Each structure stands twice: as C-alpha cells, then as structure tokens.
Amino acid sequence: MSLNVNILGINLGFSFEDKMVEKKMQEYLGIFEVNRTSPKHTFSIRKDTILLDGVTMDSGFSPELPIIIIIRLFVCIKNLLLREIDNYLLIHAGVVQRDGKAYIFPADGGGGKSTLVAWLFLKGCRVLSDDVGLISLKDGLIYPYPLPIKLLNPPREVITSLLKNRDIIVEHFEFSEGILYYIRYKNPPLTGCEIGSFIFPRRTKTKKVCIRPLNKKELLLKLIPHCNNLYFQSREIYGFLFKLIEKVPGYELIYGGIEDLKGCSFLPTHEARNT
C-alpha cells in the first residue's frame, strides 16, 4: 500500500496507478493519522477504475482527467464511511464555526452550500466541512471533516479574496464543466465544537434575505433527509436525534444569491430556540 490512514476509526489502505493522483491524495489525506496496522479495507485506484476490496466501485472515467478520479474516490470513501461509522451521525452539510459555536448548513448537492461556506469563510468564520457534518453520538459535538472545499465555477470575487489568504491553499482544475477549485487549510481544525444551530439554505429569485425560525417538527422533517447514515444505525440514533433538535434551534435561510448577502448578518444568536 502506498497510503495507509485511519479515518474516523477505520483503517484504510490505498494503492494508485497514477502518480499525480497518488501525490494529491497523500496531501489531502495526510491530515489523518497514519495507520500502522493492516487496513480493514483497501482501495485500488487504477487509471479508469476504483476498486474496494477487489470489487469495482466506480469506472468509466477518462484517465486523462485525474481530478475526476479524485472526486469519485472521495465519494467512494464517503459511501464506505456511511456504512461503517457507528459513533457519528453523518449529515450532508456545510459547517462553519464562529465564536466557539458551529453552524450547520444541510443542503442537497448543487444547492450552493459550498459557495455559502466559502463566503462565510471570507467573513471570518472557520470552515469545518463543506460536505459532511460529523456529530458525535458520545458527546454531541460536531467534528471537522477536513477535506478540501470544492467550488465549481464560483464567483470571481470569491476566488480573488481566497487567493489573498495565507492560511489556505487554493488549487484549480479545468475540465468539461468548467473550473473546479479545491481550497484547504494549511493547518485544518480537528477538534469538536458545540452546535449553535441548523440553517437550511433555500435559493429563490428574490433579492431579499430572510431568516425564518423553524419549529421542532419542521426542523426534524427538514433534517432527516440529510442524515446520510441514519438507516445504517441502531434505533437509539432516533432518540439521539430527538434530543438534538430539542436543544439546537433551526432556521431556513431564504436568499437569491451570494451577492444578496452582502451586509447581512444571518447567523442567529446563540440564545435563539425553537418554539
């Protein structure tokens, strides 16, 4: 194995045919603890195929675009974690930290959460993840999933501002859909954080920005579809989820686009609660 790491308690081994893919994955996964024992699962990444424990998980992509292999590999890793992780609730969300509290933005793919997270970073928030929120079933804290933030064809002003930040590394890759940017911290956050609130972004054609409090029922119904590993967990996970929404408020953020958020402070106060 050319790479062995422990991700959230699971020992994973990786082998690569493409040297560029190997180099990049060593950089991206280098933040995790090195695994010095035999891996529980092994990924074999060929030029046009990804295998997990000898079984094809994904294939058919062009070997001339290594970034596509990296994107697909991250998806395969995430899907494995969904089945294997039993000590975290995994939420498909962007997560930022401000003033010691974490704000979770659950959203579907393509819902703009990555751009929103990047914009909040520019406003002084610390990014914990742009894809997966890891809520510990043991202590109720949310932990970082410190992989690169992915931005496809973001507003120019966002990238211009990011390039000025000395605490991050910005990479870009060109392919058929445009330009994909990978943004990552030089020293990513790794410790758990108390949850401040859930904020569900909803893009509309309006230019107005509205933050609407959710009652407990609305919060539960909005949150469940984004709990990726809920159905792989035991029944106790539902009790944990009910207790979580009892103490953590939820909101819906309605806005037209990032440009409409200028001058707005929509992160709610810590004292806000559901009704």
pLDDT of residue 266: 61
Instruction: Give the mean pLDDT of the chain.
Output: 87
- What are the DSSP calls for 244-272, one per residue? HHHHS-EEEEEES-GGGGTT---SPPTT-
Rounded Cα distance, 201 and 223, in Å: 12
pLDDT in tens, 196-239: 999 999 888 877 888 899 999 999 999 999 998 887 777 788 89
Rounded Cα distance, 127 and 120, in Å: 8
pLDDT of residue 52: 97
User: Which are the contacts of 100, defined by CB distance < 8 A and separation ≥ 6?
Assistant: 193, 194
Burial bucket for residue 216 (CB in 10 Å: 0-12, 13-18, 19+): middle
Whether the predicted pLDDT of 274 surpasses 50: no
Whether the predicted pLDDT of 273 surpasses 70: no
Pinpoint the alpha helices (H) of 164-256.
216-223, 236-247
pLDDT band at 1 (very low <50, low <70, confident <90, very high): low
pLDDT of residue 262: 72
**What pTM, to 2 d.p., does this model score?**
0.87
pLDDT band at 254 (very low <50, low <70, confident <90, very high): confident
Rounded Cα distance, 154 and 224, in Å: 29
Whether the predicted pLDDT of 269 surpasses 70: no
pLDDT of residue 268: 55
Whether the predicted pLDDT of 103 surpasses 90: yes
Mean pLDDT of 246-261: 86
pLDDT in tens, 34-72: 888 899 999 999 988 999 999 999 998 777 778 889 999
pLDDT of residue 189: 86
pLDDT in tens, 143-193: 999 889 888 888 888 888 889 999 999 999 888 888 999 999 999 888 999
* Six-digit token string for 116: 């929103």
